[in-house]
Amino acid sequence: MGAKNVCLMTDKTLSQLPPVRVVMDSLVRNGINFQVYDEVRVEPTDSSFMDAIEFAKKGAFDAYVAVGGGSTMDTCKAANLYASSPNSEFLDYVNAPIGKGKPVLVPLRPLIAVPTTSGTGSETTGVAIFDYEHLKVKTGIASRAIKPTLGLVDPLHTLHMPGQVVANSGFDVLCHALESYTALPYHMRSPCPSNPIMRPAYQGSNPISDIWAVHALRIVAKYLKRAVRNPDDLEARSNMHLASAFAGIGFGNAGVHLCHGMSYPISGLVKTYKAKDYNVDHPLVVKKIPHGLSVVLTSPAVFTFTAQMFPERHLETAEILGADTRTTKRQDAGPVLADTLRKLLFDLNVDNGLAAIGYSKADIPALVKGTLPQERVTKLAPRPQSEEDLSALFEASMKLY
């Protein structure tokens, strides 16, 4: 790439670990100047994005390397974007209606993404997600232009992950696959664009994204438990690392829907939760719940709700996840998939629903209110939802077992 002045982005914890050291050694050995930005915030916000953007602008870098999970890769995408477009306001490229959703017309610098968790698939997508603190809502930037130039999907980088992190990241993969496979098909979205090229990145399920979703799901079914159980199971962790990238290619070209749409208020509003095994250093973090957990807790309710639209697809995923569906009736597709998911979550010792992470029935109106602005994803659900439907979904997710 001919880079002479590289920005290496990571977080404080990783900056001391082998994945970052390998990159630094390689840059030094090849005589390439670089600066390290290790202030990436887990679950980034507009102000943490802004801090990274300032760093990028000052550094006048000609290439970026992001080493970390989704938070790091997303922060680096934003830094690259705004440093390449220095006269833009922050909200210019943020998704409407919160931001202006302007198309990205400037050329960006090369970005090499090195994922160290197996969940986000951010190395394959043109999406960068953050908390917009002012409105207490998750939103993001979505443009093919911010997709990393190259992803280095190296399973050795996942051996450091504690089991709980593997599980929660794996749930993100699971839901990326399930949601993109059951999303509204691209030809049923409305309004129908005048030309296929005008479809958004989240264009609905399609024959290409289906392949990635189903394949990622097969890997999750075969390897997630093994990867959680044993940090040295290189076969299982390698496969989960690939599954994360594969599911990313799938949902990055199809979209996600209700589990993700509902997860944003779940992680944004939670009051008391200390995630096990996460080493976090900013004060708000005791209030944060891991993204994958916030996504998966509603999955039994969500797929019970959506299955009436595409029961065959729901049954197919239940079968891949281990259910015996030979005699299942189509109208039972939702409950069968939900039971299969509950069993998986129970086996992996997941918190027993939203109640177990600090929510009660009184919080449901706020959770529903926080879901409504997530239209960009929720409208990709195969079945439209009223506020009452959302209420019922949150209520059904309070207790899983």
We find the least distance from the C-beta atom of residue 319 to its own copies, in angstroms, to be 14
CA distances to 7, 240, 364 from 53, in Å? 11, 31, 36
| Residues binding its own copies: number (CB under 8 A) | 6
Using the 8-state DSSP alphabet, how is residue 1 labeled?
-
CA distances to 13, 14, 74, 243 from 17, in Å? 7, 5, 20, 23
Structural contact between residues 317 and 359, judged by C-beta atoms closer than 8 angstroms: no
We find the least distance from the C-beta atom of residue 227 to its own copies, in angstroms, to be 16
Q: Is residue 32 a contact point for its own copies (CB under 8 A)?
A: no
Burial 118-132 (b: 16+ CB within 10 A, else e): bbbbbbbbbbbbbbb
Query: Site for its own copies (CB under 8 A): which residue of 2, 207, 272, 388?
Result: 207
Q: Is residue 147 a contact point for its own copies (CB under 8 A)?
A: no
What is the spatial order of strands in the sheet that 111-115 belongs to?
A: 33-37, 5-9, 63-68, 111-115, 150-151
Site of tokens 């957990």:
293
Q: Is residue 242 a contact point for its own copies (CB under 8 A)?
A: yes
Query: By C-beta, is 82 or 212 nearer to its own copies?
Result: 212
Residue 162 φ then ψ, to 5°: -65, 155
Q: How many CB atoms lie within 10 A of CB 177?
A: 30
We find the least distance from the C-beta atom of residue 163 to its own copies, in angstroms, to be 24
- Interatomic CA distance for residues 131 and 46, integer angstroms: 6
Q: Is residue 313 a contact point for its own copies (CB under 8 A)?
A: no
We find the least distance from the C-beta atom of residue 211 to its own copies, in angstroms, to be 5
Cα end-to-end span (Å), the chain: 52
We find the least distance from the C-beta atom of residue 212 to its own copies, in angstroms, to be 7
Mapped onto helix, strand or coil, the DSSP state of residue 302 is: helix
Q: Which of residues 52-111 bind its own copies (CB under 8 A)?
A: none
The binding track of 154-193 with respect to its own copies, each residue x by CB under 8 A or -, is ----------------------------------------
Q: Is residue 212 a contact point for its own copies (CB under 8 A)?
A: yes
Q: Which of 103, 106, 51, 102 is nearest to 79 (CA)?
A: 51
- Interatomic CA distance for residues 64 and 146, integer angstroms: 12
The distance between the two most distant Cα atoms of the chain, rounded to a whole number of Å, is 64
Q: Is residue 310 a contact point for its own copies (CB under 8 A)?
A: no
Query: By C-beta, is 246 or 303 nearer to its own copies?
Result: 246
Query: By C-beta, is 77 or 215 nearer to its own copies?
Result: 215
Q: Is residue 211 a contact point for its own copies (CB under 8 A)?
A: yes
Query: By C-beta, is 24 or 242 nearer to its own copies?
Result: 242
Query: By C-beta, is 96 or 208 nearer to its own copies?
Result: 208
Query: By C-beta, is 213 or 270 nearer to its own copies?
Result: 213
We find the least distance from the C-beta atom of residue 208 to its own copies, in angstroms, to be 8
Q: Is residue 246 a contact point for its own copies (CB under 8 A)?
A: yes
We find the least distance from the C-beta atom of residue 242 to its own copies, in angstroms, to be 6
Query: Site for its own copies (CB under 8 A): which residue of 41, 77, 138, 215?
Result: 215
Interface residues with its own copies (CB under 8 A) are 207, 211-212, 215, 242, 246
